[in-house]
Each structure stands twice: as structure tokens, then as C-alpha cells.
Amino acid sequence: MTMSEPNWSEIQAAFAEPFAPDEIEWKPQSTNQDKTRAMAVAYMDARNVMERLDAAVGAGNWSDRYHVLDNKHVECELTVHGVSKCDVGETNEGGFADPAKSAFSDAFKRAAVKWGIGRYLYALPTQWVACEARGKSVVLKETPTLPAWAIPKGYKQPEKKQKKATPAPANGNGEKPFYAAVVKETPFYASPQDVEDTMALLNLSYPTRADEARQHRATLAEYAQLVADGKSQAEAVAALTKQEQPATG
């Protein structure tokens, strides 16, 4: 049985298709002097690149190999149907991710751009949006708008769910205890200072979670203080939950 030749025109068209807007990430590249406005740069996640490769050519028809060049640079060889293209990535020393891992991811995405995946992101118009400084980091306060040609055909914007109003909690601090984050992010909060230290990390990785965390910083700090005082994570959550429960009788 002979293998049919790949249809490179169809493959290139599939690779060049824009990602959905909610699959695009944004980061500040430069700011004005008072750090209230930033030039936003779009980038893609490595997992979305993998999914695009799987969808366009099939999971068994592409592969990636890596060559460590030095302690900061890694080369990725991305092969599709026997044809390889390479590019080099570097470590992100200023980020929260493992620097070594970031070099591999950067190399993979750069090699994918050579295949046409996400290449259109480099042609996006320059946009300046509101930002704010948080410690040594600068975070965007709004999401830039994509031009029509950078949005997939037939894409429908997801409907925004209206938030339900929540009553003030019984603990008197004017905030609803953020138990979802407490339970899921407990490794981050071993001391009150950890609450502040992780705000930038949450904002970069999970913007929605970061917004909620900032709204309920006092509760997170109270939880962290209980842990620092020797309470177990379960005991700290139980103590805060008990505070919130309305009095009965």
C-alpha cells in the first residue's frame, strides 16, 4: 500500500487559519513613562499549536525534536510529513515559568511560525492599552481588539454571563470569602506575604482568577495568617467558613 502525497496547499491553509480570539494571549512589550499605557503584543500558547498540528495533519504525521545549544538557548526541529523546519528559543528569566521549560516552548512556537502557524500575529496593528504596575511586573488592564481578518471565519463571540449579585458576608470585612481559590491555590498561600507575591502570577496565568483574588485579598491574607500560625489548610478553611455562616437561634 502506497502512501498518498500530502496536500501541502490544504495544510498551509489550515496552518495559516487564525486562532479564536480567546485562544490568543497578550503581554506588555513597552510602556509609557508613568506605566499607565502599554504596547500590547499577541502570542499563542504551545498547547494550541499542538492542537492545530493534530487537526491539520494528524497526530501521527508531525514530530518535534530539541537540541540544547547552551544554558539559555534551545533549538526545535519541527517535522511535518517528513519535512523539517527549525528555530531557536531562549529562556524567559523574568517570568514565573521554569526558565528551561520556557526555552523549549519558545523554540517550538518559533518553529511553528516557520510553518505558518500564528505567523499572522506578527502583522497585527500596534495597539496601546491601559496597564498598571504591580511590583516589578506590568499587567494589561484591558484586552486589545483584533481586526476582522485576524478572526476565524464564522467565529461567534461567546455570550457573556451576567454575574449574580451576592450578599455581604457575615464576617464583617465587606468581602465574600474566596474559598474556591483557597482550596485550589493553597500551595501558594503559606504566609500573608505569599498573597501579595502571587497576584502577578495569577494575573499572567489566570486573569479571571486574579480579578477575583484581588477583590478578596483580605480573606486570602486571613487564611494565610492562620496557616502561618500553625493551622492546617483544612482547619484554616473551616475557620473562615464558620465565620461566614450566619448566626441561628
CA distance 181 to 156: 30
pLDDT tens-digit series, residues 59-71: 999 999 999 998 8
**Same domain (yes/no): 112, 183:** no
pLDDT per position as a tens digit, 91-126:
876 544 456 678 899 999 999 999 999 999 999 999
Q: How far is CA 46 from CA 25, 62, 66, 133, in A?
A: 11, 15, 15, 27
Burial class (CB in 10 A: 0-12, 13-18, 19+), 174: exposed
Same-domain status, 120 and 204:
no
The answer to whether residue 210 sits within a structural domain is yes
Domain that holds residue 233: 179-244
Q: Which of 228, 234, 219 has its CA nearest to residue 172?
A: 219
Mapping DSSP to helix (H, G, I), strand (E, B) and coil, where does residue 80 land?
A: strand
Do 120 and 20 fall into the same domain?
yes
In a domain, 131, yes or no: no
Asked, for residue 8, whether it belongs to a domain, the answer is no
Whether 9 maps to a domain, the answer reads: no
Same domain as 201, residue 100: no
Question: What pTM was computed for the model?
Answer: 0.61
Looking at residue 45, the DSSP 8-state letter turns out to be -
Q: Are 120 and 16 in contact (CB under 8 A)?
A: yes
What percent of the chain is predicted at pLDDT more than 90?
A: 48
Are residue 20 and residue 101 in the same domain, yes or no? Answer: yes
Q: Tell me, what amino acid is at 109? A: K
Evaluate if residue 176 carries a pLDDT over 70.
no
**Residue 68, domain CATH:** 3.30.390.80
179-214 residue pLDDT tens: 444 444 444 455 555 555 555 454 444 455 555 556
User: How far, in Å, CA of 78 to CA of 247, rounded?
Assistant: 62
Spell out the alpha helix ranges (H) of 198-232.
199-205, 207-215, 217-228
Position 62 in a domain = yes
Last residue of a domain, one of 77, 98, 124: 124
Instruction: Tell me: do 21 and 119 sit in the same domain.
Output: yes
- Please give the tally of structural domains in the chain: 2
Q: Are residues 25 and 97 in the same domain?
A: yes
In this structure, the answer to whether residues 109 and 209 fall within a common structural domain is no
User: How many CA atoms, within 13 angstroms, populate the side-chain half-sphere of residue 232?
Assistant: 3
- Are 208 and 193 in contact by the 8 Å Cβ rule? The answer is no
Same-domain check for residues 19 and 97 = yes
How far apart are the C-alpha atoms of 226 and 191, rounded to whole Å?
Answer: 8
Phi-psi category of 224—alpha, beta or left, where left has phi over 0 and alpha has psi -120 to 50? alpha
